[in-house]
Amino acid sequence: MLKVRIVLRISDNIETKLLTTLQDTLAISDHADFCVGYFNLRGWKYLDSYIKSWSGGEGNCKFFINPSTNGETHVTRA
């Protein structure tokens, strides 16, 4: 039987830093699925060593990126 443990955390980047939360979670994981609205590759260097250490090859790390914007974003860009 497959045992799945789901870890849900909210990081506000004030009291709980997102990078620290991700590193702590990835350190005890063997795969990850991310769903984000924005992704910048510059920060990947802080996480790649955790993911490279996982066995199993392809499919251990998945990203779902939704580039949609809300009304405020459209106003800010204008």
Q: Where are the domains of the chain?
A: 28-77
pTM (predicted TM-score): 0.65
Model confidence pLDDT, tens digit, residues 2-54: 666 666 777 778 888 888 888 998 998 888 888 877 777 888 889 989 988 88
At residue 45, φ and ψ (nearest 5 deg) are: -60, -20
Q: Which residues contact 43 (CB under 8 A, 6 or more apart)?
A: 19
Window from 3-7, 56-60, 68-72, 74-78 with minimum mean pLDDT: 74-78
Which residues make beta-bridge pairs with 63?
A: 34
Q: Which residues contact 46 (CB under 8 A, 6 or more apart)?
A: 19, 23
pLDDT of res. 78: 46
For residue 61, give both structure tokens: 């790390």
For residue 9, give both structure tokens: 């955390």
pLDDT of res. 68: 67
